[in-house]
Amino acid sequence: MRPKPNSKHKIFNLDEDARKHIEEGAKLNSMNQSQFIEFLANSWENSIDPSKKLKYLKSEKELLRERLTELEAEENKLIEILQKKDEWNQVRRSKKPSIVSNIMRVISEGRYSDAEIIARSQSIGLGIPAVELLNEAMLSISKGK
């Protein structure tokens, strides 16, 4: 959790009972101790003056709006990454058959070392292991395609 813009670090001396109450209250409310103390202070303050509660709620809403904007930006970035990944997979799938047929042609001509070189160089660009390209070409040749 990131600290609020107007937060400051303070140290308090409390007796053992007060510390235990803060620890128990924080655990019961699923908060850390700082959040629980802030909650107690705000609850006390808000019970005295409702306009302060309104001010507090508005500041909380603004923090949530900022967080929502950050989350939406991150979500959009991830969506873009996924779209680019899908586009790349489509390009890869479309290029693979022509590369395999090229490797098949070279193998059928008896140039095995050239086929390995082609498979290695094309595997770098496609992100597919060279062995996979060679195996696919050999299987296609053995099937008689």
Instruction: For residue range 17-52, list pLDDT tens digits in order.
Output: 888 888 888 888 888 888 888 888 877 766 777 787
Q: Give phi and psi for 21, each to the nearest 5.
A: -65, -40
Q: Does 79 fall in a domain?
A: yes
Is the distance from CB of 100 to CB of 140 less than 8 angstroms? yes
Q: Does 39 fall in a domain?
A: no
Q: Does 139 fall in a domain?
A: yes
Residue numbers of the domain that contains 105: 72-143
Our count of domains for the chain comes to 1
Q: What is the C-alpha separation between 75 and 79, in angstroms, rounded?
A: 6
pTM more than 0.75: no
Question: In angstroms, how far is the first alpha carbon of the chain from the final one?
Answer: 60
Q: What is the C-alpha separation between 141 and 120, in angstroms, rounded?
A: 19
Q: Does 56 fall in a domain?
A: no
pLDDT over threshold 80, residue 132: yes
Is the distance from CB of 33 to CB of 22 less than 8 angstroms? yes
Q: Does 112 fall in a domain?
A: yes
